[in-house]
A = this chain, B = another copy of it.
């Protein structure tokens, strides 16, 4: 069993490579849910949806999230009726949110709803939310605390991030199966996701860091920072504004207590010894996922780094 800690787009693309090189049924994905938000009373789980849509091959490839060929009739109508509809909810996409919300309102857990959606999309890997309890990332800015989607979508990541808080994390329990998936894995992979707001909330749950430290499985991460920059999203700015180094070494430091190997891009080959100064072994390869071949190569290189 391979267990993957996952955020959104970067993780989903990595996983799409991984299911091509090992049996999907042997993969357990632990998905960040601290970006979840309610719109029109619907429970939206952006990271889970991005992973499911990508693995099911129905994702909008260009943007990396949402469904291919989606339309926005509902959203446009809601705006016409005076609604402040700032979050992109496609018409097809709504089916996911409606089915999830109906299951939750019927008393099912987010784990149950996620399993049902993954199965309805034909996936054979296991997708677990990090927790069935409510955890929400609060981004502190000069204008006060914002929910993650307010920061990320509504205000387009333009605010300087002064602090991050994962409201509810202390009291939340990892979802059923999460700790076992870390303890019993053959290898644990931390996907190339934002270490602070995608992986950070998972690590903030009680017992997760301990399980990662104690597991007999090797733990390998792929750096989402290449040449000091994030390929996508605000990870680089966020690392800097929160006092971290926006580099592979900065990533290694954040994970150093549990990480065995950090896969870094060939552009960062010269940083290998700096990364290794944190006690983490560095493996250098091409980490940019341009297409199916490069995704598969990265997945294979990541597995080889710890399983050979």
Interface residues on A, range: 20 to 34
Chain A: interface secondary structure? helix
Task: Decide: A81 and B121 in contact? CB cutoff 8 A.
Answer: yes
Task: Decide: B83 and A41 in contact? CB cutoff 8 A.
Answer: no
Taken together as a complex, chains A and B put the C-alpha atoms of A121 and B81 apart, in Å, by 7
Residues of chain B contacted by A80 (CB below 8 angstroms) = 95
Residues of chain B contacted by A74 (CB below 8 angstroms) = 74, 91-92, 94-95, 98
| Known A82-B120, A117-B81, A120-B81; contact A73-B91, beta-carbon cutoff 8 A | yes
Stretch binding the partner chain, chosen from A7-15, A99-107, A210-218, A285-293: A99-107
Task: Decide: A81 and B105 in contact? CB cutoff 8 A.
Answer: no
**A70 located at the interface, meaning its Cβ lies under 8 Å from any Cβ of chain B in the complex:** yes
Known: A73-B91, A74-B92, A81-B95. 15 other contacts (CB 8 A): A40-B102, A41-B98, A41-B105, A67-B77, A71-B73, A73-B92, A74-B95, A77-B92, A77-B94, A77-B95, A78-B99, A80-B95, A81-B96, A83-B95, A94-B94
